[in-house]
A and B are shown apart, each in its own frame.
Chain A
Amino acid sequence: MDIEIKLFFDLIKYLPSGTDSNTARISVAEGTTVGSLIDSLNIPSEIQKTILVNGVKACNETIINENDSIAVFPPMAGG
């Protein structure tokens, strides 16, 4: 199934090669979790991050559905 992945700031480098923005559409197997998606992108687990699925905070165990939009941010502060 196809999903959208958006990585922000320093995490952009973990998008599939050839991606020319911070967003990519990729195919994943049904039942893929957020944690396994992050692993498949080779984002180091020790990097703190906030993961949102369709704008709602998710955890590693969250199961991804078709056409979900997954956004991953590094730690942030300010405002």
Chain B
Amino acid sequence: MFGLMGKILRVNLTESKITEEEIPESMARMFLGGGGLATKYLYDEVKKGTDPLGPENKLIFMTGPLTATTCPSAGRYSVVSKSPLTGAWAQSNSGGFWGPEFKRTGFDGIIFEGASPKPVYLVCEEGKAELKDAGHLWGKKVPETTDLIQEELGKDFKVACIGPAGEKLVRIACIMNDTHRAAGRCGLGAVMGSKNLKAIAAKGSIPVKIANPEAFKEVAKKQYQLINDSMLKVGLETHGTNLLLDMVNVRGGMPTRNWQIGMFEHVEKVNGPALTDNLLKDRVACYACPIACGRVSRIKTGKWAGKEGEGPEYESVVLLGTACDVDDLNAVTMANFLCNEYGIDTISAGSIIAFAMECYEKGILTKEDTGGIEIKFGDADVLVELTEKIGKREGIGDLLSEGVKRMSEKLKKGSEEFAMHVKGLELPAYDSRAVKITGLGYAVASRGGDHMTGYIQGPTFIDTPFLVVEDSKIDDVYSPKPHDTKVLNDLENALTMFDVTGTCKFMGLMLDAKEWVNLIANVTGLEFTIEDFRKTGERVVNLARAFNMRDGFSRADDTLPGRLMKEPMPEGPAKGHVVDSLDTLLDHYYEERGWDKASGKPTADKLKELGLENTIADIWN
């Protein structure tokens, strides 16, 4: 199949053995690449009951057929594994430049298996790969690791690596690439650390073979221009993703004080314009991106003056800021920088600190537990201090590094009700009591409490029509209808295709499915239709679901924190609302998906329809 390099690297870290494997054509046609292909490998190779941090787990990096082409935003790669945070299927995805550079070394992806007896890093260059000693890199933060590798190999190598958090098996550790971009969610940095794998450096110039190069070039150029001229681009380019903060706040869905309330009083101190006016140094774009939503920020005043890095994004500002009741944007930015340097997920880190603050407020955590730190809401210094302690797994940071699910199971005393996670993954920055269908999105996402699987927040919280599905209209955010579950289903199938092809989901807002099909058909040479587009996405969603079901997950895991279902929102537009209809929504959603209502498993008929017959015995016997 064109678009793919056609082969992957298999790196057995236990034996320091590297082999090349061809990707079977039939597999490529069914799963295309990226998160799809990686999920297929994971399902086939990681057995039920595998310890996520044991050598039997696999860590799979995969680019897509559009990665490294001239398609707009085609700079992304996926990492797929079993999560140490959730015990479920995990996919994390990142932009920047590492993905395209790696693909041009001549491979679509890498499967890491086993565990190295000592720290190593992998170097991929022009069709070759070798493991190198990483003893001197162990313990180093992300920027230092990246710099040292580039000093050794050359500045033109792109680096993906873990920081100290991944080495210390912090369950929210991420994998960073190009110093500042994160494959952030699900703790896959800890899987990398468990394998004693510090980094992957890549340099390549092998071109991607495109089936219809002239037609592809023309379509890609047209789409690039269309996005470049789009009104939707303007806000993102001007203020970054943090431009959303005002609208979510006005709707009363802004997680504040660990989701105790839905509006943040000092929003003007932390919103998009505040970031632009006070911290923005430069705007940066990922590979082939016309938008440039990335922020280079510099703290100009106060104790962290002079500190520079990238971010913060919308999600990071909310979880590290409003969720912790911190209105000091310098502190939020500093905490964000520390997350990137130690290699931890900003969403989970902020959520954990907010949870700890509420536990302290309620006397569930005391000064004796915290090593003398008063973990109070609104304390900017504590936010920064705790972020660093999580990164180092130091003191109280050791408990915090486990994530809110494990923390609440240990602390008990009712803290389970306000531990804001689904399946162990901390929730992102939209309170479902203000838009109830988003609660269904969190509940059913295979990687846990996640907004990017279906991004139903787009057509609801921020009122953006999604052209990539036929219908994304949600009429009443407080009274979800059966129709809304179809919208979520369709969005999940469609947005999965961005992870599969190696492109950015922001483009899913701006281009319709026909245009994406045109790009995929011209790069792969397949006769690819809109039906194929939707079916491929659906196949991947179902395979991830089957992975979880094989490991014992069930309908009971498709749930929400007690706070969202039982505690009425105390004020604002959503005052008095709870997510009260989850069970009914699940029934409709399962029916839409062809999943068994009692167990939540995909039915045998559905699995057959999608060509996933091999999973039926695994989950039904």
Complex Cα spacing A51 to B221, Å:
34
Contacts of B251 in A (CB 8 A): 52, 55-56
B411 CB within 8 Å of chain A: no
Judged by a CB distance under 8 angstroms, whether A78 is at the interface is: yes
Given the contacts A77-B510, A79-B241, A50 and B235 also touching, CB distance less than 8 Å: no
Known: A52-B251, A56-B573, A57-B463. A78 touches B246 (CB 8 A): no
Q: Counting CB contacts under 8 A, is B310 at the interface?
A: no
B250 touches A79 (CB 8 A): no
* Contact status A78-B236, CB under 8 Å: yes
Encode A1-27 as 1/0 by CB contact (under 8 A) with B: 000001011100000000001000000
Tell me the A12-63 residues at the B interface (CB within 8 Å): 21, 48, 50, 52, 54-57
Contact assessment for A55 and B573 in the assembled complex, using a CB-CB cutoff below 8 Å: yes
What residues of chain A lie closer than 8 Å to B234, measured between beta carbons?
10, 74
When A9-B235, A55-B572, A55-B573 are in contact, do A77 and B464 touch as well, CB less than 8 Å? yes
The B239-287 residues at the A interface (CB cut-off 8 A) are 239-241, 243-244, 246-247, 250-252, 268, 272-273
Instruction: Answer whether residue B293 sits at the interface, using C-beta atoms and an 8 A cutoff.
Output: yes
A79 touching B451, Cβ below 8 Å: yes
CB-defined interface of B218-242 with A at 8 Å, one 1/0 digit per residue? Answer: 0000000000000111111011110
Which residues of chain B are near A77, meaning CB under 8 Å?
232-233, 235-236, 458, 462, 464, 506, 509-510
The answer to whether A48 and B231 have CB atoms under 8 Å apart is: yes
Say yes or no: A75 contacts B231, CB within 8 Å: yes
B314 within 8 A of A: yes
Contact present for A75 and B239 (CB under 8 Å): no
| Closest Cβ–Cβ distance, residue A71 to chain B (whole Å) | 5
A52 to B232, CA, bound (A): 19
B573 with A76: CB separation less than 8 A:
no
A8 to B573 CA separation, bound complex (whole angstroms): 19
**Known A-B contacts A50-B463, A54-B573; A76 and B252 likewise in contact (beta carbons under 8 Å):** no
What is the bound-complex CA distance between A6 and B251, given in angstroms? Answer: 13
Residues of the A chain whose Cβ atoms lie less than 8 Å from the Cβ of B528: none
Q: Is the CB of B506 within 8 A of A76?
A: no
Report which of B315, B451, B464 forms a contact with A75, defined as CB distance below 8 A: B464
Measured in the bound complex, the distance between the Cα atoms of B267 and A8 in whole Å is 13
What number of B residues sit within 8 Å (CB to CB) of A?
39
Contact A78 B250 (CB under 8 A): no
B464-A55 in contact (CB<8A): no
Question: When A55-B573, A79-B244, A79-B451 are in contact, do A9 and B239 touch as well, CB less than 8 Å?
Answer: yes
Judging by beta carbons under 8 Å apart, are B244 and A9 in contact? Answer: no
Contacts of A79 in B (CB 8 A): 241, 244, 314-315, 429, 451, 455, 457-458, 462
Residues 501-517 of B contacting A (Cβ, < 8 Å): 506, 509-510
Contacts of B463 in A (CB 8 A): 50, 57, 73, 76
Q: B246: which A residues are within 8 A, CB to CB?
A: 8, 71, 73
A50 and chain B: residue at smallest CB distance: B463
B574 surroundings in chain A (CB, below 8 A): 55
User: For residue A78, which residues in chain B have a CB less than 8 angstroms away from its CB?
Assistant: 235-236, 240-241, 243-244, 293, 314, 462, 506
Contact of B231 among A6, A55, A74 (CB under 8 A): A74
Which residues 451-487 in B have Cβ within 8 Å of A in the complex? 451, 455, 457-458, 462-464, 477
Bound complex: CA of A32 vs CA of B572, how far in Å? 23
Which B17-63 residues have C-beta < 8 A from chain A?
A: none
Q: Chain B: which residue is nearest A52 at the CB level?
A: B250
| A11 CA to B434 CA, complexed, in Å | 25
Minimum-distance CB pairs A-B, first 4: A55-B573, A77-B232, A50-B463, A78-B241
Question: A55-B572, A75-B235, A79-B315 provided; 8 other pairs, C-beta below 8 A?
Answer: A54-B573, A56-B573, A71-B247, A75-B464, A77-B235, A77-B462, A77-B506, A77-B510
List chain B positions with a Cβ less than 8 A from chain A: 231-236, 238-241, 243-244, 246-247, 250-252, 268, 272-273, 293, 314-315, 429, 434, 451, 455, 457-458, 462-464, 477, 506, 509-510, 572-574
